[in-house]
A = this chain, B = another copy of it.
Amino acid sequence: MSSTFGTLFRVSTFGESHGPAVGVIVDGMPPGLEVKEEAIQFELDRRRPGQSAITTQRKEADAVEILSGVYEGKSLGAPIAMLVRNTDMRSKDYDALKEVFRPGHADYATFAKYGVRDHRGGGRSSGRETVGRVAAGALAKAALATVGVTVVGGTVRVGNTEAHDRDWPQVELNPVRCPDADAAQLMQVLIEKVRDEKDSVGGVIELVARGVPAGWGDPTMDKLDARLAAAMLSIPATKGVEIGGGFAMTALRGSQTNDVFDGERYATNFAGGISGGISNGNEIVVRVAVRPATSIGKPQTMAKQKGGTETVTIEGRHDPCICPRVVPVGEAMMAITLCDAWLHQRAIRGGDR
């Protein structure tokens, strides 16, 4: 159990929500690749709080500093450490929570695990830990781009409102990050309503990788499905993941869901681009269930550390729907997972085939 994801492209995050900083080490970035601080900052800005009316109003510049592994704009093959200082912490907001365990949060489980905890903002369990993942994901995206692989993502459901289109360029044009402009409007209305009720609502995000050649992944324990599932359910607030046809496919027949392949093209994509754990050349499609954010502004019953319960209202600034901010994290984790699989395939075959 550790804070590291990946074995050849290794991403290790550190930092608590209300500590001095959060950050990441990426160990395994191939050498000689261009590393642009702007590209990293661009992804961090997509994850940043306060970016729109429907995200938390915590203000963090989230300015990244590269500490190592890059020389004259190129990766050295050495660990790339990246640092983001915490600035707008308002730890006082959390004073009332020092001795209680918030429902839905990791407070009680964390205390049971370690016997000690930093109650301010969830400490290590805060969504703020994903800053490091997004920075690392920017590097993974840059590395994958050199072999023609791209990753896109968006919010495809909020509450019961579903996106029908997959018009990916729409994603950065609406605050919900929905690839369907019409659905985006309905989703936004719903999120604003939920926000005004001091509540939160869940949703589903979808991630797609294009250009992945057949052959990445593994047939058994490290199936690409398994690695992607681990990547996704390591993101805070996620409680489900499906590949390709996913749960819907369970109601169908094999004669419907066996994707017919003519050697170049697939007629369907129930497999979500992964057959027997190995990429099959089709688009890789993953959907992730994002639960309603556990931080809400309503009064809630909380267990006290010393026994008994108490009704507490959590001050602080919350996200009514976390999906728009989970999208860049999901993309990052998908890119990281694929980058790791790519390097493994290079080890196995001795080249980029």
Q: What string of 1s and 0s marks CB contacts (under 8 Å) between A67-104 and chain B?
A: 11101001111111101000000000000000001111
Interface pair B19/A71, CB less than 8 Å apart? yes
Q: What string of 1s and 0s marks CB contacts (under 8 Å) between A153-181 and chain B?
A: 00001011000000000000000000000
Query: Which listed residue, B32, B117, B231, B247, touches A247 by the CB 8 Å rule?
Result: B247
Given A2-B10, A14-B67, A220-B234, 16 other A-B residues pairs in contact with their CB atoms under 8 A = A2-B221, A13-B79, A21-B81, A23-B68, A25-B25, A71-B118, A108-B275, A124-B220, A225-B239, A239-B243, A240-B243, A242-B289, A254-B293, A255-B298, A255-B300, A346-B350
A148 at the interface (CB under 8 A from B): no
Interface pair A253/B199, CB less than 8 Å apart? yes
Task: Check A23/B67 contact, CB under 8 A, given A109-B280, A203-B250, A245-B239.
Answer: yes
A22 at the interface (CB under 8 A from B): yes
CB<8 Å pairs between A and B, sample of 9: A12-B25, A105-B276, A113-B217, A227-B230, A240-B242, A250-B291, A254-B293, A255-B300, A346-B350
Interface pair A118/B1, CB less than 8 Å apart? no
| Residues of chain B with a CB closer than 8 A to A30's CB | 348-350
Query: Which listed residue, B202, B220, B247, touches A204 by the CB 8 Å rule?
Result: B247
A183 at the interface (CB under 8 A from B): no
Instruction: Please name the 8 residue pairs, one residue from A and one from B, whose CB atoms are nearest each other, closest first.
Output: A106-B276, A240-B242, A104-B258, A112-B214, A200-B254, A109-B278, A202-B250, A254-B292
How far does the alpha carbon of A300 sit from the alpha carbon of B213 in the complex, in Å? 24
Task: Check A276/B236 contact, CB under 8 A, given A4-B221, A19-B71.
Answer: yes
| Residues of chain B with a CB closer than 8 A to A300's CB | 255, 258, 260
* Distance to closest chain B CB from A290 (angstroms): 6
Q: What string of 1s and 0s marks CB contacts (under 8 Å) between A305-337 and chain B?
A: 001110000000000000000000000000000
* Distance to closest chain B CB from A340 (angstroms): 8
How far does the alpha carbon of A59 sit from the alpha carbon of B65 in the complex, in Å? 24
Interface pair A226/B215, CB less than 8 Å apart? no
| Residues of chain B with a CB closer than 8 A to A5's CB | 221
A41 at the interface (CB under 8 A from B): no
Query: Which listed residue, B67, B110, B129, touches A83 by the CB 8 Å rule?
Result: B67
Interface pair A69/B220, CB less than 8 Å apart? no
| Residues of chain B with a CB closer than 8 A to A276's CB | 105-106, 109-110, 122, 125, 236
| Residues of chain B with a CB closer than 8 A to A69's CB | 14, 16, 19
A257 at the interface (CB under 8 A from B): yes
Q: What string of 1s and 0s marks CB contacts (under 8 Å) between A21-45 and chain B?
A: 1110101101110000000000000
Interface pair A294/B258, CB less than 8 Å apart? yes
Interface pair A21/B278, CB less than 8 Å apart? no
Q: What string of 1s and 0s marks CB contacts (under 8 Å) between A339-353 and chain B?
A: 001011111111110
A149 at the interface (CB under 8 A from B): no
Interface pair B289/A76, CB less than 8 Å apart? no
A56 at the interface (CB under 8 A from B): no
How far does the alpha carbon of A200 sit from the alpha carbon of B68 in the complex, in Å? 30
A232 at the interface (CB under 8 A from B): yes
